[in-house]
């Protein structure tokens, strides 16, 4: 359609038509390809990674603020745990929940017997 519109309004020798079609195709292909935006992020040192994990909170490498859990914060910034770890060069076992908060949740689960099967009592014999 683009080539037809151009040819209708411009005089063009027939031998130049294949070159025009190739040029238009190249231009359209380059427009369709998404531009890769490389965001250079400074990778934290092992000391910074260790310091970012405190008992009460995890320090985010995105904004430097403390969080009990990082999942919601990361999703707000368009990241998931895996891409966060890759982006900042963190180890695969880097936690997404602060140790203190994890222990609180585990204590609640133990107190409510979460995950345990209910005991079944044997049926009484018919009298």
Domain limits, the chain:
51-111
CA neighbor of 3 nearest in space, from 13, 29, 18 = 18
User: Which backbone phi and psi does 58 adopt, to 5 degrees?
Assistant: -105, 135
pLDDT for residue 36 is more than 70: no
Average pLDDT, the chain: 88
Query: Residue 38 pLDDT > 70, yes or no?
Result: no
What pLDDT, on the 0 to 100 scale, is given for residue 126?
65
Q: Which residue has the higher pLDDT, 42 or 126?
A: 42
Dihedral of alpha carbons 93, 98, 104, 109, sign: negative
CATH 2.40.30.10 assigned to domain 51-111? The reply is no
- pLDDT of 69 higher than 90: yes
| Stretch among 66-70, 114-118, 121-125 having the lowest mean pLDDT | 121-125
Q: What is the mean pLDDT of residues 60-67?
A: 95
Report the percent of the chain where pLDDT is more than 70. Answer: 89
- Neighbouring CB atoms inside 10 A of 59's CB total 19
């Amino acid at each position: 359609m683009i080539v037809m519109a151009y040819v209708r309004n411009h005089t063009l020798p027939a031998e130049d038509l294949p070159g025009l079609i190739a040029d238009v195709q190249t231009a359209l292909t380059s427009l369709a390809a998404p531009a890769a935006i490389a965001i250079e992020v400074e990778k934290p040192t092992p000391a910074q990674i260790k310091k970012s994990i405190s008992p009460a909170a995890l320090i985010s490498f995105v904004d430097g603020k403390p969080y009990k859990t990082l999942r919601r914060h990361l999703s707000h910034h368009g990241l998931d745990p895996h891409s966060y770890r890759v982006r900042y060069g963190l180890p695969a076992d880097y936690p997404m929940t602060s140790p203190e908060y994890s222990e609180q949740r585990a204590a609640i689960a133990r107190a409510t017997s979460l995950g345990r099967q209910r005991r079944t009592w044997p049926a009484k014999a018919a009298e």
